[in-house]
Structure 1
Amino acid sequence: MKNPHFNPHKKHHRPDGFQNNYQSFRGKRWNELLRWRWQAWRAGHPKAITTPIEVVRPDLAFIQGNAQAGLAMQPAATWVGHITVLLQVGGLNVLTDPVFSERCFPVQWAGPKRHTPPGLQLSELPHIDVVLLSHNHYDHLDEGSMRALARQAGGPPLVICPLAHKKWLHRWGLQRVVELDWWDTHVIDATERNLRVPVVLTPAQHWSARTATDALRSLWGGFAMLSPDCHVFFAGDTGYSKDFVDIRQHFAREHTPEHGGGFDLALLPIGAYEPRWFMKDQHVNPEESVQIFQDIGCKQAISVHWGTFQLTDEALDEPPRALAKALAASNISPERFAVLPVGGSMRVPHRMR
């Protein structure tokens, strides 16, 4: 199948799809899958949780009031669970990879099931202006959640996503879709609010597949959202690579001290990483996530991609413990790389310029 977006001058493009910048993705063979599952069974993985995953009632008064504040909005982030975060920045309500369904699977009667409920129900969300969609895996691109957002009061959100996702989104009722290649910029221009917010698709080391025959046919990535009041980085799903040093260099001019410094907030994955021989090229572990935190030069981070779906061999509650050790080893305060409860919110200081 030919890649309609193919550009021979871009090293991550292939005639039939896409690839990573620094390590080409190779799908695991059947014998590797069997080896993983055999080793996990013999070792009794995943282990049961020993520390309950904290779930709190969201501060709906703050969230809804903030949603109506326009440009006086307090920059904030609320962890809905897994990879889904409600960002309130620049007068916009933004969702990252919305997943509200009970299971992340093609059908809702099988596959990984939620261990924690969404921190916000779909009915409790403010009107969502923008969805940042990182790629098409089922724990990131969830049909039921996207169809629900297409029906939200006030009209569907704008969806900003990597190349080759429109076919699914249009089918589900989302017609306002902007596809980006790595380093492309879309400026959210809300004239009635006197608002212009650049959103840049950044590289990640991962892969894509929605079916058994479409691996690497759509692009994946992270996002930099450069609102005047808060610069946010959302890593999406990723293994560790030099891409994050490149990202810091790419935004160096916007992040000089006189322009307010580095990213004010980063959403960084810390879960779904064991066994390393199987997961390392696609998912970071907490130690590598701390390295990303340092590479991109952000001021503060929130831990995501853990505590909701049992996808890999580590216990569901293990990532925060591993993160605490990695932060201590790098002499970074745990307050700078927060582990929020599901439903918890973080208020982020306004960007100083």
Structure 2
Amino acid sequence: MTQPPEPTTTTAAPGSRPSGPSAPAPAHPPLAEPRPLAERRVWPRAFHDRLTSPLPGLKALARFAREGAVRPAPGGLADVPRLPYAPGPLPRADSRTVAVTWAGHASWVLRIGGLTVLTDPVWSRRILGTPARLTPVGVAWEDLPRVDAVVISHNHYDHLDAPTLRRLPRDTPLFVPAGLALWFHRRRFTRVTELDWWEAAELDGVRFDFVPAHHWSKRTLTDTCRSLWGGWVLTAPDGRRVHFAGDTGYGHWFTRIGRRYPGIDLTLLPIGAYDPRWWLADVHCDPEEAVRAAQDLGARHMAPMHWGTFVLSAEPVLEPLTRVRAAWERTGLPRENLWDLPVGGSRVLE
């Protein structure tokens, strides 16, 4: 199977100007027509051909066994009490509001176009293979408004959490990568829309586009890359856009996403779980790469995530925050456009 081609069918992006005979050709590829919600589809057996880099081989695994560190040194954990945690009430929201609240890790409460959307919701205290959370969840489950939709980036345990998803009504609209719907159908979810890269669906006027990422998928010993991975671009009826990167390394996809979806107002980008670099560079951005990715996307604002919640790698727990702030300052971009929120913090897009 080859990677999906650039779409040839077009639909006007919400908020875009209509074109006419004298209008110049668009500077970005056209968007795909939205697909039907919850349609049943047939996919390839695996998506190994979508990998940006090969998965680690025997030599890399042997090196990791010899010298790889998956936990910070004791000094790197000393700052756990200083991790930013400031839960507050969710912002008031109506159909014109675009607001985000960081629940921790890659979990956001996104208010857009009158919808409440959860990204990679993980409300559990523990996930498989890691110690308990360093910071509590930033939003109590009982404080959530009705969840109108959920987007999932891929099937790793720190992004696809079965105990959290069991709390949702089984008719909650779910937007998931290609090949992942069966996992939800087995758990009796009835409104599951799975998409390939560059495909889209629409719910109550909000457009959900699935976009590439530099990552992979695996949940059991036998399902490596059996489902796809990626990020999401959500577009409100008024044209405002939020990009949720999911889990990703740095690479060429960010520039392509920025061309396809011009005018991204906010990108939610991972900045943690990057050390040792020789082991994780292909699949996890470091803070400097995340800032570069925000620039490649052409995003007006960046909100860091995927740090300060679970111990997944060897960098000191506060290092991602200090490095992303320094990297942002070096760009000369307005400081207020870096939304370095505490867990539980919120911002509203003006």
So what's the TM-score if we normalise by structure 2?
0.83
1:158-194: per-residue Cα shift (whole Å, max 9, x none)? 1101111112212223211000000001111x3xxxx
Could you tell me which runs of 5 or more consecutive residues in structure 1 were left unpaired when the two chains were aligned.
1-6, 191-195, 256-261
In 1, the alpha carbon distance for the partners of 2:318 and 2:49 equals: 30
1:103-139: per-residue Cα shift (whole Å, max 9, x none)? 121xxxx633101111112111111111010000000
In 2, the alpha carbon distance for the partners of 1:186 and 1:77 equals: 21
Aligned twin of 1:291: 292
Residue identity opposite 2:63 in structure 1 = E
- State whether structure 2 residue 125 is matched by structure 1 residue 102: yes
Aligned twin of 2:230: 221
CA apart distance, 1:305: 0.5
Q: What is the RMSD computed on CA atoms of the aligned residues?
A: 2.2
CA apart distance, 1:49: 3.6
Checking the alignment, whether the CA contact within 8 Å between 2:248 and 2:284 is kept in structure 1 is yes
Residue identity opposite 1:97 in structure 2 = D
* Aligned CA distance change for structure 1 residues 26 and 35 (closer, same or farther; 3 Å): same
* Aligned CA distance change for structure 1 residues 9 and 237 (closer, same or farther; 3 Å): closer
Aligned twin of 2:243: 233
Secondary structure (helix, strand or coil) at the match of 1:338 reads coil
Aligned twin of 2:29: none
In 2, the alpha carbon distance for the partners of 1:104 and 1:200 equals: 28
In 2, the alpha carbon distance for the partners of 1:297 and 1:19 equals: 29
Aligned twin of 2:177: 162
Deviates more, 1:301-310 or 1:142-151: 142-151
CA apart distance, 1:308: 0.3
Sequence identity of aligned pairs in percent? 39
In 1, the alpha carbon distance for the partners of 2:135 and 2:188 equals: 28
Secondary structure (helix, strand or coil) at the match of 1:233 reads strand
Aligned twin of 2:317: 316
1:44-67: per-residue Cα shift (whole Å, max 9, x none)? 36721436112123214x3xx42x
Residue identity opposite 1:18 in structure 2 = F
Secondary structure (helix, strand or coil) at the match of 2:102 reads strand
More helix by share: 1
Aligned twin of 2:142: 123
Residue identity opposite 2:176 in structure 1 = C
In 1, the alpha carbon distance for the partners of 2:138 and 2:155 equals: 22
2:154 is matched with which residue: 106, 130, 135? Answer: 135
Aligned twin of 1:92: 115
In 2, the alpha carbon distance for the partners of 1:28 and 1:120 equals: 40
- State whether structure 2 residue 191 is matched by structure 1 residue 176: yes
Aligned twin of 1:25: 54
Checking the alignment, whether the CA contact within 8 Å between 1:201 and 1:224 is kept in structure 2 is yes
In 2, the alpha carbon distance for the partners of 1:268 and 1:17 equals: 26
In 2, the alpha carbon distance for the partners of 1:167 and 1:22 equals: 22
In 1, the alpha carbon distance for the partners of 2:296 and 2:264 equals: 11
In 2, the alpha carbon distance for the partners of 1:8 and 1:327 equals: 36
In 1, the alpha carbon distance for the partners of 2:142 and 2:64 equals: 39
Which 4+ stretches in 1 moved above 6 angstroms? none
Checking the alignment, whether the CA contact within 8 Å between 1:46 and 1:312 is kept in structure 2 is no
In 1, the alpha carbon distance for the partners of 2:312 and 2:169 equals: 28
Checking the alignment, whether the CA contact within 8 Å between 1:40 and 1:46 is kept in structure 2 is no
* Aligned CA distance change for structure 1 residues 333 and 89 (closer, same or farther; 3 Å): same
Secondary structure (helix, strand or coil) at the match of 1:58 reads coil
CA apart distance, 1:295: 0.2
Secondary structure (helix, strand or coil) at the match of 1:302 reads strand
